[in-house]
Structure 1
């Protein structure tokens, strides 16, 4: 009898244990798979952070990577939500909320940085416009804490200039 004949196929009714036991997952991290959506998981980190969303395994070391749509909340309340690529927010509709500093950002991100069209506020200013590598780069409109509206334009030397709008 051939070796493959000795192996019985698993029953279609059998479901794998939703708790992963894998040497690639460090101690203190709990992963719960959503069996209805095979690439979706809840990851609870030892420090209290939590990720709920799509994931994949890294090609290099077989570690879980945030890839796809998901939400990451840190133990101190930071919220990162949107499309993930290689553990960093990268996509057209991303959200970063940092309640301790009253920071809110909604817009495009690339490799974990504000990049593209976005809207930023921190309780002192509100900016709607273009971001480049995590900084405002214009064109855009900035509203200050007194209600003044400023037009932001990038100069030839890549500096951002603001003009008070009347």
Structure 2
């Protein structure tokens, strides 16, 4: 599979944007987490060839607007992932969380109708290849604390504060 890799400077580091020939977002991560992104791409698609290119204008404009304060600018961006049925249900539910709204792993599990699947939900959240647009950063611990984030806890905290969520570091 051939995909395009582009970069975009953001207030929290250089983002890596992976798109297909149609300009659909397949992955979004950060430059310092490139090995993680490569592992997720391989897990989702098998052998992937990344060709350097410019980010598609709609994605670039939406991400820029998001970081400039239009927190819903990324909501309509089309994405494609190759996760399991369970993962795609989790990721779809994450996209229903509004900016500034947080949920717990247990809360998302309940929302998808599988209240006992908290661990599986956490694994699906961690396997999300599309940061920010599929807002896995909006999932916090049951006690309200920040928990793991594939792009680093400092970014998770920044994103939640940017969105107006009351968080405890």
* Higher normalized strand content (fraction of residues): 1
Higher relative contact order (Cα pairs below 8 Å, separated by 6+ residues): 2
| Bucket of the pairwise TM-score, normalised by the shorter protein | under 0.3
* Higher normalized helix content (fraction of residues): 2
Larger radius of gyration: 1
- With normalisation by structure 1, the TM-score equals 0.28
